[in-house]
Structure formats: structure tokens, C-alpha cells
Amino acid sequence: MTTALPRSATLARIPSLDGLRAVSISLVLGLHTLQAYGVAHPVSRAWFAVFNGGFGVFIFFEISGFLITSLLLAEHRKRGSISLKGFYVRRFFRIFPPLYLYIGVIVGLGLAGRLAVRWSDVVSSALFFHDFYGRGTSWLEHLWSISVEEQFYLVWPFVLVVCLRRPGRRGVKAAGVFPAVVIVALPMVRLLLLWSPVEALHRLAVASLRFDFIMFGCLVALLDGTPRFEAMYRAVTRTAWLAPGVIVVSSVLSAYMGNRFDLSVGYTISGFAIAIFLLWCTRNGESAVGWVLNSRPMVKVGVLSYSIYLWQTLFLHPGNDGAFTWWPWIGRYPGNYLGVAVAASASYFLVEQPSLRARAWMLGWFKVYRTRRAGLRATAG
């Protein structure tokens, strides 16, 4: 008997994902708070192991890979094809308006002389190559992760569409080759570049090339329900604490060993453990962990997580004093957390929600248009 995620869940809200988003954004907020505090105070590496913001971002990545792939597979099962136009319309209205609002505010503060803004960082953030190029503007530095996701959106749906032209499981198996190759190849590529005497290549290994985390999420969605994967999943999750335990140990080793561990085997080990734990959470909503992840406060924070992620750097970065000279308290704890909450809530209710309503209207219009066009073709035939 398979324990795979119910297929109906991929068409609606998958259990526990909003709660995992809340955990992810909490790790990011914790890391940036430690970094700000550490400017004037010594901070033990143990705290950075507890609040590993990098792992928070990696959980976001794996959720994206898992969710997007699950939804595209569900669409293919239902319609027999995947609408790339519909996919990119959904992504545009979900990602772009809140992001460009944030970038616009940073640009405005830069023009007003409140913040030092490097215009090449603005361009690289707006055009989604900040993970490869961005180096200067601190209030845009976190947008490297949005760039990674957008690059994933530009490549993966096309790969999936091409592979799924093969009938049945053959198409899914073909699609699984791509993430598997990325997962295996990236650690070797990172190590080769890490020891390169060319500074640009060295920086590429250290600061970029995090696509394997998204690919773990994609691969789990593709393998979900297959006999071999389910056998492996049952073996790994027989001990419930194994996957989260590996995540904790990896975080500790990452905090104390840094790139020596992360770029060699650390990212691969933690990526696998996060993927298994993510799937376990979606299947065990009745457990104590599932109860916490699906609780109302966790879901609310998870729903707001994108806006929180966009705005938190402006308020938590230690060099933000110039932006809030008229309200100096908002640049310091606890005022900065209040600022994050207010800005994220405003972004969600005034930008994200209207954008999602506009998306629903446009997708409905596309559906009516396709139906009318099909009717005209049938009449002409």
C-alpha cells in the first residue's frame, strides 16, 4: 500500500507547506538579527547553527521545486498537456508586483539620499541575475534567491513539457534525469571552481550554484508514489527523527566548517534530508509536527512569508539607520520587527492580494477565449 501524497492535494493547498514556509522565514529573520547584533557584540557560532538562514532559503527552494512540479504534473494528468502561458501568467502575478514594489522603494530611498544604492544591483535584481552579479547594495543582497527561482522557472517547465511528450511513466522517468544530473554534478562543479585561481570562478562556487536544492524538490515530486522511492522513503522515515536530525547535524557542521563542508557534501546531504522531511510533513498532518505546521499562526506567517522575505532586509540590516532618520527607533529592535510586520502586511494586502485577483481574472479570460476559439473552429469545420 503506497503512502504517497494524495493526488487531489496537488490541485489545492498541500498540507504543512505554509507551516514550513513559516519555519523558513523564521530562520532567515533569526540569522539577519544575529548578523545585526554581531556588528557590535561577539556571537557564538552555535547561534548561527540554530538560526541557519541559508537552510531557511534552501527549504524555500525545495518547497518551490516540489510544489511547482506537483502542480504541473497534476495539470498534465488532468488536461493531457501543460499550458506554459498559464504557468508564466501565474508566476508573473505572484512574483513580480511585490518584488518590483520593494525594488522601487529601495530606488526611491537611494534617490532621496537615504541609502547607498548600486544601480548595477538594481538592474541585476530586476532582471533576475543577481545571484551571479550582485555584490554591492546590501538592501538588495537577499534577492539572489529570487533570481535562482526565476531562472528555475525559465528552464524547468520547458524540460518537463518536452519529457512528458513520452507516454505514461516513461515521460516522468525522462524528466527525472535532469534534476538527478544537476544534483550529482553541482557538488563536483562547485569544488572545481572553489580551488580555481580565477577570482570570478571562485566567487561563483561560493556565492551561486544552489540549484540542486530546487532539483531535490522536483525529483521528489516526480518520484512520489513510485515503488522504489516509496520503499526508500519508508526505510528512511521508519525512524521519525532521522531526517530532521541530519538537518540539525548538517547545520552545525555548516556553522563550524563553512564551505569545506557545504560545497563538498553538505549541501547534498542536507538537500536530501530536507526533501524527505518536507514530504513526511505533507503526509503526516495529523502528527504533533503536522499540528504545529498547520496551526493558524504558522499558516498566517507562511502566507505572509514572501512579503516578509522581501522587506526584512531593509529593517534588519545593520546599516539601515540612514533610511529611518525621521523614525530612528524603527531601525532598532524591537521597532525593526514591527517595521517588517507592517511593511509585509501592507505589501500582502495592498499588492499581493489584488495581484492574485487580477491573475484569476486573466486566467478566466484566457479560458473563455480558448473555449470560444475552439467553438469557432468546430463551427468552421
Cβ-Cβ contacts under 8 Å for 144 (sequence gap 6 or more):
130, 131, 134, 207, 208
Q: Please tell me whether residue 81 adopts helix, strand or coil conformation.
A: coil
**What totals of helices (H) and strands (E) does the chain contain, helices first?**
18, 0
Distances (CA, A) of 96 to 125, 139, 221: 11, 18, 25
The separation between CA 240 and the C-alpha centre of its own chain, rounded to angstroms, equals 25
Amino acid (one-letter) located at 175 = A
pLDDT in tens, 77-101: 988 889 998 899 999 999 999 999 9
Global confidence as pTM? 0.90
Q: Which of 21-25, 269-273, 375-379 has the lowest mean pLDDT?
A: 375-379
Phi then psi for residue 196, to 5 deg, are -70, 140
Distances (CA, A) of 121 to 19, 281, 314: 32, 37, 15
pLDDT of residue 131: 87
Q: How far apart are CA 90 and CA 84, in angstroms?
A: 10
Q: In the structure, what pLDDT confidence band is assigned to residue 228 with cuts at 50, 70 and 90? A: very high
Q: How far apart are CA 286 and CA 120, in angstroms?
A: 48
Cα–Cα nearest to 250, from 277, 268, 276: 268
Helix (H) or strand (E) holding 291: helix 288-293
The answer on pLDDT for 31 being more than 50 is: yes
Residue identified by cell 547535524 is 249
Cα–Cα nearest to 147, from 169, 167, 130, 165: 130
Q: Please tell me whether residue 134 adopts helix, strand or coil conformation.
A: coil
For range 110-130, the mean pLDDT = 90
Highest mean pLDDT: which range of 41-45, 128-132, 326-330: 128-132
pLDDT of residue 13: 66
Average pLDDT, the chain: 87
Cα–Cα nearest to 82, from 206, 192, 172, 214: 172
The neighbour count for residue 183, using CB atoms within 10 Å, is: 21
Q: How far apart are CA 126 and CA 119, in angstroms?
A: 11
Cα–Cα nearest to 308, from 110, 26, 101, 103: 26
Q: In the structure, what pLDDT confidence band is assigned to residue 373 with cuts at 50, 70 and 90? A: low
Residue 199 or residue 230, greater confidence? 230
Cβ-Cβ contacts under 8 Å for 87 (sequence gap 6 or more):
72, 153, 157
* Positive or negative torsion for Cα 1, 175, 185, 206: negative
C-alpha cell at 65: 521545486
DSSP for residue 196: -
Q: Where are the alpha helices (DSSP H) in 38-143?
A: 45-50, 53-79, 84-111, 119-126, 130-133
Cα–Cα nearest to 65, from 278, 277, 267, 219: 219
Q: In the structure, what pLDDT confidence band is assigned to residue 368 with cuts at 50, 70 and 90? A: low
The answer on pLDDT for 352 being more than 90 is: yes
pLDDT of residue 235: 95
Q: Which of 62-76, 325-339, 351-365 has the lowest mean pLDDT?
A: 325-339
Cα–Cα nearest to 16, from 63, 55, 53, 52: 63
